[in-house]
């Protein structure tokens, strides 16, 4: 699919560029830029999802935690795991799930996944369901920074995924604030092309990180049916996963979670009838479509 051509005059055009940061911090070494094979034409509007395989999907499911963490058992999370496992397989992913890993075990699996050869894969996907707080997630035995999940997949560290989607879905609280919601009242209505040349991309391009809730707030989970976010995500992937682009799908997920769910804890008035809205951060540069593979995965 061809998109809007990126005109040369939109760039620096020979003029000097500056950064707004006060102090330089170490990152990728600017003296040694990395190189990777182009997976798609520069001006393509959609990612190339026609590789031999869709790609790996890892689900990290946390239900039980070490007693010293003083965290409750996450009843209902196995429903999320099984539901998401089936939906991702339907979209041609090679899915593996892990239960109650320690941080070292989780980190080992993440590093192994990042170090694989993804040349024949469309993308990679990581989903995590656990307890969390503002800026932290929990493994079975300790807390860790969320960026530990995705920092190994930047294009300089994982060149076979450069220019390909790297998708992360996180079901966890991001704080302890409650969303009381706002009641909406009815309104009164009236009756060889330039795209073939080599190009450079930022090392953090092509990521999508979808949290079940916004920073600082609770994320809700039904002890029988699973979390609101994963329920909505799986429903939308099942109903529209092959038709709409991923960001459109995530907008629908946000609408379902925000309008279709409300906490049911009548025994605790402070927690009763509370709301939630997912938080999706997109560093994507193209649209993602999960069209059916012509050959079935093995």
Distance (Å) of CA 192 to CA 39, 169, 275: 16, 38, 52
Catalytic residue among 62, 121, 131, 234: 131
181: left (phi over 0), alpha (psi -120 to 50) or beta: left
Q: Is the dihedral of CA 215, 218, 224, 225 positive or negative?
A: negative
Grouping H, G, I as helix, E, B as strand and the rest as coil, residue 31 is coil
Q: How open is the CA angle 9-13-18, to the nearest 5 degrees?
A: 120
> Two tokens at 204?
């953090």
For residue 272, indicate whether it is catalytic: no
Q: Which of 178, 177, 182 is nearest to 274 (CA)?
A: 178
> Two tokens at 46?
């959609």
Distance (Å) of CA 259 to CA 13, 265, 273, 275, 282: 46, 17, 12, 8, 22
Bridge-partner residues for 2, per DSSP?
A: 44
> Two tokens at 196?
């073939």
Contact 195, 155 (CB under 8 A): no
According to DSSP, the β-strands at 124-129 and 56-61 are parallel
The DSSP letter of residue 221 is: E
For residue 51, indicate whether it is catalytic: no
Catalytic residue among 123, 158, 173, 234: 173
By annotation, the residues acting in catalysis are 131, 173
């Amino acid at each position: 699919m061809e998109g809007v051509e990126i005109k040369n005059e939109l760039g620096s055009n020979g003029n000097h560029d500056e950064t707004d940061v006060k102090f330089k911090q170490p990152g990728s070494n600017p003296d040694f830029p990395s190189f990777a094979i182009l997976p798609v034409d520069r001006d393509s509007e959609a990612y190339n999802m026609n590789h031999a395989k869709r790609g790996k999907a890892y689900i990290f499911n946390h239900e039980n935690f070490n007693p010293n963490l003083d965290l409750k058992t996450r009843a209902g999370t196995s429903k999320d795991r099984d539901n998401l496992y089936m939906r991702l397989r339907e979209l041609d992913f090679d899915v593996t799930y892990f239960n109650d890993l320690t941080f070292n075990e989780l980190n080992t699996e993440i590093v192994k996944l990042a170090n694989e050869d993804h040349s024949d894969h469309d993308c990679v996907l990581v989903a995590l369901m656990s307890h969390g707080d503002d800026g932290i997630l929990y493994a079975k035995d300790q807390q860790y920074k969320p960026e530990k999940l995705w920092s190994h997949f930047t294009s300089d560290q994982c060149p076979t995924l450069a220019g390909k989607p790297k998708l992360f879905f996180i079901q966890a609280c991001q704080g302890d604030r409650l969303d009381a919601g706002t009641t909406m009242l009815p309104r009164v209505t009236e009756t060889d092309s330039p795209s073939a040349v080599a190009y450079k991309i930022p090392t953090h391009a092509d990521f999508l990180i979808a949290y079940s809730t916004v920073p600082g707030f609770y994320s809700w989970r039904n002890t029988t049916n699973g979390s609101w976010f994963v329920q909505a995500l799986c429903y939308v992937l099942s109903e529209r996963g092959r038709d709409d682009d991923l960001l459109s799908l995530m907008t629908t997920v946000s609408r379902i979670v925000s309008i279709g769910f409300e906490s049911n804890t009548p025994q605790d008035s402070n927690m009763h009838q509370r709301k939630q809205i997912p938080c999706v951060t997109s560093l994507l540069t193209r649209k993602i479509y999960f069209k059916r593979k012509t050959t079935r995965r093995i």
